[in-house]
Each structure stands twice: as structure tokens, then as C-alpha cells.
Amino acid sequence: MIKGYAVGISGTGSALPEKVLTNLDLEKMVDTTDEWIRTRTGIGSRRIADDKTATSDLSTEAAKKALADANLKAEDLDLIIVATVTPDMAFPSTACIVQKNLGAVKAAAFDIEAACTGFIYALTIAEQFIKNGVYKNALVIGAETLSKVLDWEDRNTCVLFGDGAGAVVVERTEEGMGILSSYLGADGGNGEALTQPAGGSRIPASLHSVENKLHYVKMDGSEVFKFAVRAMGKAAMEALRLGGMELEDIDFLIPHQANIRIIEGSAKRLKLPMEKVYVNLDKYGNMSAASVPVALDEVVRNGLIKKNDKVVMVAFGGGLTWGSTLMKWSKD
């Protein structure tokens, strides 16, 4: 059996809309308070894309930054994967639109959808292509404009989510470095806990679907919370097991930014002090597939991880889905 190439992240980038929507702003829009939101979620504000900004626009901006960081030209890209639940349209894929925007003329391009776990899924797919020698490099993007599919009269969902995009360039790296293991999981039996009911073949767009707000995010918050507490810790532990490492080997944790209590619970299970856990949901809220790559970009640019650090990225999301990646950071 061929072991394959070692695969690592050589560049990161992110893009966020300029508009900031604070909890105080939301108090004027829906029956909620800053104290209620902060106490239950840890969120203080989120970024909101304007009417002219689509998911591909944020994706393209984040991609350009990641390519520059990796010192790679767009025309040298082999593959583009965009993870999103808010594509520009059903087809063509957002990845193909990004390919056009970048001028990545030789890259294969497609989207994947695993909700908030989407970036971890996409990164794992890209890793396989490079590990097996099919491609030399890939651009992986997690991007969302969830504000466009939120019911701004539903206080249970509209306070949680924000818009943004994060991107990474994935390439071959030195042996023993880069991605050491990945773990993916799903439970379609509980998928109804987090959905966007209409707009697909089950409930096509109609006057009825629009009037009944079926194109907006619907969530059973208590069920998702209970699932997340279990899934985050389990996924991180599985990545460690597959990578042959122990809890004490972890240098840094980059979790999906959904709820501060879930993050703190995961850190406790992994026996990590919170100073080794990155949190930015107070500024951005839950950006779904963009959450982990935006956090990773900030971690890298703030110098919080260094070469040889063992880093775990972990997420959970609609589907229901979960996933994790263990890396030995390979970038200087």
C-alpha cells in the first residue's frame, strides 16, 4: 500500500463584510436583549453582507489572500472546493464562479455541503487528492452569507449567525508534517433539527413556500445543543486516536464558533486551558462553514501557533454532521 504524500496548509486568508450588527442593534429589531444573547451564546456582534455581496464575492477575496500567503498563482491551482450552504445559486457551483473570478484556468472546481462542518469535509477531500498524487495543490474555501436566509423575526435563529469566508491553500509538505489525521461523521436520522426546508426538489419555490417562510433557517436549538456537546468532544478525540496522539499532545484547538458553552465544554473534555482555544464568535457569531477557516486565518496571522505545533480543528453542523482534523503545523 502506497503511503502517499504528506499534505499541509501553505496559506490562509479570510474576508468579512464591513457591516457590523451588534446585539444592541438586534434589540431594536426583535424581542431579545444583549444580556440574553451573551449569556446563552457568547455572541456580541456579527458581520452582515450587503445586498450586492454574494458568497462567491467573499470567497474570492479570501482566496486571493490565501494564494498570496502561499506564494501561489491562481493559474497554477489544480483544484477548488467551496463548502457552503448559501451558494450564489443552485448551479453553476460557487467554486466555478470563484475559478472564473481568480482566473484559475486549469483547476477542477466543485461545491460540497455539510453545513457548519463543511470546511473540515472539504479539507479532507482535498487532502486525499494531493496525498494520492492526483493533484499537487488545492484551494479550500468555507464561505457563507447566512444573513440572506434568516428570518429576522425569529429570535431563536437570527441572533446566532453571521457572514464571512475563510480560505486555505493545501499542498505537499515535508514528511511527518501537515495533516496527520481526519475524522468525519454524520447522522441523517436527526437532520430535521437544523434545516432550510424549501428551495430544493422536496419543496420547490412557490407562493406558499415564501409566505410560510420555508426558505429560512429552521432550528431546534435544544436538540442541536445536546448533539453538539457530544459531537465536538468525540470528533476531537477520534482525530487524536487516528493520529496516534494523546490529549497532552494538543498545543491548540480551533473549534467551530457556535456557542461559548459548547466550546468551553469541549476544552474541558480535552483538558485544555482556554488560552489554548481560539474564540472569535463574540465578534462574528456562527458563520457556519466559514467559522473554522476564518478562525484559523486569525490564529496564523496573530502568531498564536508556530511550526511543529499540534493543532486540532473540530466542527459540528446540520445533517447532522461532525468532523475534525489533527495537524502538525508545517508553515514557518
What grid cell was written down for 124?
479532507
For 322, the 3-state DSSP assignment is: strand
Please, are residues 247 and 270 in contact by the beta-carbon 8 Å criterion?
Answer: yes
What grid cell was written down for 309?
505545533
- Give the integer Cα–Cα distance in Å for 257 and 236: 15
What is the set of active-site residues?
A: 116, 256, 286
Q: Beta strands of 61-157 (E only): which ranges?
A: 79-83, 108-112, 137-145
Q: Which of 189, 168, 188 is nearest to 179 (CA)?
A: 168
Q: Beta strands of the chain (E only): which ranges?
A: 6-15, 19-22, 45-48, 79-83, 108-112, 137-145, 163-173, 178-186, 194-195, 218-219, 252-255, 310-317, 321-328
